[in-house]
Chains A and B, each alone.
Chain A
Amino acid sequence: MSASNDGNSSPRSQFASHCFEDLLDSIIVDVASECHRIARLGLDRNLEEEEEELRLSVQARVADPSSSSEVNSKNVVDVFGQTHPAIAAEILKCMNCRQRVVAGRFAPHLEKCMGKGRKARKVTRSTVARSSHPHGSPVSVYAPYSNATSTNTAPNGTSGHAGEEYADYPYGET
């Protein structure tokens, strides 16, 4: 690297430039030495494969990505030749209450049925006291399905009603 030729050629500034150049050279040699070792020992990644993947990716993005198959996939015939309604029409039997439910609306039904989620409405007097959760998070309220005077249990437990499978008390969750 050539000496800097700013007008200032005092010994001090020259010495400073010299020091800087030495430091810079030293850093460059550090990197060169490390890279040389990595290359010679075959430690560098398989660069050709990496480049190839990047090239394919660039190619993919340049090619029109918004082909109709991407956008309107719900209006087409699927790979088996079937079409489906927007809301799944299969009729399912709820495991909790034995009612028949349309598949596309099964989750909201189940949520109410199991007494989960913020939309659960079945709160009885016996559970209100327990619902003041110390953490204040929007915890789903345990709502016994039938009897308003169902027994309270310890936070980790569930009250018993033979034959009905209750959701677990949320406090038991880690």
Chain B
Amino acid sequence: MSSFSAPSTGRRRNLYAPPPCPHLADYRSNAHGLAKPFRSLQPCLRVRPLGRPEIRREPQEIPRCSPCSAADGGGCGMGPRLYACLACAAVCCPAHAPSHAEECRPGHEIAVDVDRAELFCCACGDQVYDREFDKAVVLAQIAAAAANASASCSLPESLRKRRRVDYRPWTPDPREWATMRRESSPLLLPDASDPYSAGAANTSTSSPSSPPWGLRGLNNLGNTCFMNSVLQALLHTPPLRNYFLSDRHNRFVCQQKRRRKKDGSGGSMGGDRRNPSGGLPVCLACDLDAIYSGVFSGDRTPYSPAKFLYRWWQYASKLASYEQQDAHEFFISMLDGIHENVEQDQHKPQSQGNGDCCIAHRVFSGVLRSDVTCTICGFTSTTYDPCLDISLDLDSNQNYTNVPTTKSHACNGENDLILSSQICGVSTLMGCLERFTRPERLDSDQKFFCQHCKVRQESLKQMSIRKLPLVTGFHIKRFAHSSIKKMSRKVDRYLQFPFSLDMAPYLSSSILRSRFGNRIFAFDGDDSDAAIDLASEFELFAVITHSGTIEAGHYVTYLRLSNQWYKCDDAWITHVSENIVRDSQAYMLFYVQKTLYYEASEDVSAS
């Protein structure tokens, strides 16, 4: 099978194999008269627990370099690397391997590192790669794992891929045009010559000629900046915004439905928190729809989300108090509220993984995969859980001194920022994600019951992202609550975050692949579609920051609209430079998928 062309600009393709060197190509084409190359190796592929493959003719064989042993007359002849020639199975150390290839050529150039199952071309003096060989190794590893009867939760039904379809643009037909003209009134467009749109006074950067649509301050109703900051981010979450602006949840229609439903059931239905007797059931999506209408109306005076606060307090009564609250808690509560209301009304399935239930999950819901591996026998237990966002720990490593960035910049030069940031202790979002997906050895008091060993064993746990949501929200755990000390403290540590983020290294497919030694193989959950690479690229569009202390702090949202950044501080909207955003103390970060794909709908009637 011919290899693909080189990946462009370093972007990886899942099954990419580099072009073989001439010796490898020769070996493959000749295959020494065998039907399959590497066939002689197959029975020698042995897999140690935890998956490390090696080449041994006999299970307990100890390979030695024959020339070394002969010369030393008893020298051990073992080095850090030993190569077994694929043609004649002669074992050599790196010093003697080239001469073996030279003496026995042609045909003896390709060897295999016996301890690592890696191909080596003795003539080129370099490690080489082959898809067939890797496939053989992975199959051996999988077979070894299966022998341990790994239990994996079968992938939830909802995640089986649906067929991708092309985007079909919609244009209204004449009848629809007529309806639109009749039933709507034009919004007043911002006037380019309007003195108000000349830009904020105190910024050094120039602002655009007129502020974008949907930019509108939100009045603080009394310690409600936690709500305003999240609302601003959600109002400008592209898929969510499009949904509501496309009238997909019309509050008037929904209200009628709810009224009819309530009347139909013969009066008040007590016992439902969404339905205080005497009133209609609460629908947070309707209240959000009202805010969208208000904020995108063109009116630029600050909007007071009073009704929304009232409704939300009806829904989430435990959180209802005039106190400083946590923006992240509000975010989750709000999404849950939208889900519940819509789900109950439309009797859609509860499964959140594929987001079919409601718009909140369609936009924000992803699936996390958790693997727990027994360190003794390699048995792995896999579970999948849906998530609305990803909460990350800030490394509160006391070993890091918070070195001022000027120093780090000077001492390490421009070319080694990644390394210098690790040394000088700057936390980065990608660093947090790496830690999130790193195999973690569970404490001895958290021993996992291994189904294979039938006892509790020390185990490794590793998280990965099985399915990325359309919008990935990150929650930086800055508030450390100690239930023992009954106090909370805030971690003010700066976190660097990128404006463009590639989530590919944190996907389950990547994590799984690296567990198998990064072999060229189509793993479960892999999408050989080249488009998968683009599906993991995200762009930042909103940052919620917290300044101050836990008791007395303030939330502010930075929004990215048409690549301009705006600071939304309750009612005050100002244009700010990129630098201010990069320097801010991020508490929640919102990234949207750069490229959207359309899946064939299972519902025939859906548009």
Contact = CB atoms under 8 A, between A and B. Distances in A.
B11 A46 contact: yes
B576 A69 contact: yes
B294 to A, nearest CB: 12
B304 A88 contact: yes
B13 interface: yes
Contact of A95 (B301, B310, B500): B310
B318 interface: yes
Interface string B493-534: 010111110101100001001000110100000000000000
Interface in A64-86: 65, 67-70, 72-74, 76-82, 84
Contacts of A159: 277
A50 B498 contact: yes
Contact of B219 (A68, A90, A114): A90
Interface residues of B, number: 107
B548 to A, nearest CB: 13
A107 B309 contact: yes
Nearest to B15: A41
B273 A40 contact: no
B17 interface: yes
Contacts of A163: 278
Interface in A85-114: 88, 90, 92, 95-96, 103-108, 110-111, 114
Interface in A107-153: 107-108, 110-111, 114, 116-119, 139-140, 153
B302 A90 contact: yes
A158 to B, nearest CB: 5
Interface string B250-280: 0000000000000000001011010011110
Interface stretch (B73-81, B179-187, B377-385): B73-81
B140 interface: no
B569 interface: yes
A106 B306 contact: yes
A104 B310 CA distance: 14
Given A81-B198, A117-B320, A59 B314 contact: no
Contacts of B167: none
Given A42-B10, A92-B306, A116-B317, A79 B575 contact: yes
Contacts of A44: 10
A16 interface: no
Interface in B171-213: 195-204, 207, 211
B222 A165 contact: no
A49 B222 contact: no
Given A43-B12, A55-B414, A69-B203, A107 B224 contact: yes
B122 to A, nearest CB: 16
Contact of A74 (B318, B504, B572, B576): B572
B582 A110 contact: no
Contacts of B127: 33, 36-37, 40
B321 A111 contact: yes
A54 B12 contact: no
Nearest to A170: B317
B323 interface: yes
B113 to A, nearest CB: 7
B270 A45 contact: no
A84 to B, nearest CB: 5
Contacts of A60: 578-583
A90 B195 contact: no
A173 B316 contact: yes
A76 to B, nearest CB: 5
A58 interface: yes
Given A42-B13, A58-B409, A78-B573, A117 B518 contact: no
A173 B273 contact: yes
Contacts of A105: 221-222
A86 to B, nearest CB: 9
Contacts of B317: 116, 140, 167-170, 172-173
A63 B195 CA distance: 30
A104 B219 CA distance: 7
A61 interface: yes
A54 B496 contact: yes
Contacts of A80: 196-197, 211, 300, 573
A37 B406 contact: no
Contacts of A76: 200-202, 572, 574
Q: Which of B10, B129, B322 has the most CB of A within 10 A?
A: B322
A79 B575 CA distance: 6
B16 A107 contact: no
A107 B314 CA distance: 13
B481 interface: no
B311 to A, nearest CB: 9
A69 B278 contact: no
Nearest to A80: B300
23 contacts: A33-B127, A40-B127, A43-B12, A43-B518, A60-B578, A60-B580, A60-B582, A62-B405, A65-B583, A69-B202, A69-B203, A70-B580, A74-B572, A78-B572, A79-B197, A79-B575, A80-B211, A80-B300, A88-B221, A104-B219, A114-B313, A162-B277, A173-B317
Interface of A: 22, 25-26, 28-30, 33-34, 36-38, 40-51, 53-63, 65, 67-70, 72-74, 76-82, 84, 88, 90, 92, 95-96, 103-108, 110-111, 114, 116-119, 139-140, 153-154, 156-170, 172-173
Interface of B: 6-7, 9-13, 16-18, 78-81, 113, 115-116, 118, 127, 129, 195-204, 207, 211, 215, 217, 219-224, 268, 270-271, 273, 276-279, 300-302, 304, 306-307, 309-310, 313-318, 320-323, 405-406, 408-409, 414-415, 417-418, 421, 428, 430, 494, 496-500, 502, 504-505, 510, 513, 517-518, 520, 566-567, 569-576, 578-583
The 7 closest A-B pairs by CB, nearest first: A117-B321, A107-B222, A81-B196, A25-B80, A60-B582, A88-B219, A60-B579
